[in-house]
Amino acid sequence: MTPDLSLGEVKTSLTPAKRFEEYLQSRGMRSTEQRRILINHVFNHHDHFDADDLIERLPTKGQPGYVSRPTVYRTLTEFVDAGLLRKFELDGRGVYEHDYGYPQHDHLYCQVCRELFEFVSKDLVKLRDEVANNHRFRVSSHRLIITGTCEDCRKNSSRTRRKQDRV
């Protein structure tokens, strides 16, 4: 079960599908059935996923809506290129999430359950701008991932420990 994480939305003039169509047109590419299937799947709800997660959710070979693995990889790259998705590396895998229409945020990453938790901090952005300013640096974006153990996982491990102590 994936929790429905959502920090709300940022107002955009186009839907992701429309924006992608414009991107394709600007590059002389066609909006294929497979691209449409993928955009619907990906923009259904906000999530962090890798290519394998997405492939797992798609219909299997021979079923309507099936998209081959190479096409999934290629189209995800197009989504990133079009500014619809953001990609980052985590534990050696490429993780994607919505960028277009989604607020700027940062992540806490639990190394036990491997869940990504989102947060927004104005103070952090202020500090970032100050640091950049001090270095006469112009910010285009930043990425911060705080790694550690989430509350649930900490509770679980201390419960286990207590049980072991009693034995």
Is 108 a residue that touches Zn ion (CB under 5 A)?
no
Is 110 a residue that touches Zn ion (CB under 5 A)?
yes
Closest CA to 82 of 47, 116, 38: 38
Is 78 a residue that touches Zn ion (CB under 5 A)?
no
Closest CA to 21 of 65, 73, 79, 66: 79
Other Cβ atoms within 10 Å of 12 Cβ, number: 12
Is 90 a residue that touches Zn ion (CB under 5 A)?
no
Which listed residue (17, 24, 90, 153) binds Zn ion by CB under 5 A?
Answer: 153
Nearer residue to Zn ion within complex by CB, 6 or 15: 6
Is 120 a residue that touches Zn ion (CB under 5 A)?
no
Residue type present at position 27: R
What is the Cα–Cα distance from 94 to 92, expressed in whole angstroms? 7
Is 84 a residue that touches Zn ion (CB under 5 A)?
no
Q: Evaluate whether 146 touches 107 at the Cβ level (below 8 Å).
A: yes
Query: Least distance to Zn ion from the beta carbon of 88, Å?
Result: 9
What is the Cα–Cα distance from 112 to 149, expressed in whole angstroms? 6
Which listed residue (14, 29, 112, 131) binds Zn ion by CB under 5 A?
Answer: 112
Which listed residue (55, 117, 150, 156) binds Zn ion by CB under 5 A?
Answer: 150
Is 113 a residue that touches Zn ion (CB under 5 A)?
yes
The residues, any chain, with a CB within 8 Å of residue 130's CB and separated by 6 or more, are: none
Nearer residue to Zn ion within complex by CB, 112 or 146: 112
**Which residue(s) pair with 119 in the sheet?**
106
What is the Cα–Cα distance from 121 to 124, expressed in whole angstroms? 5
Q: Which of the ranges 30-38, 83-91, 121-129, 142-150 carries the binding residues for Zn ion, by CB under 5 A?
A: 142-150
Point out which residues bind Zn ion (CB under 5 A).
Answer: 97, 110, 112-113, 118, 150, 153
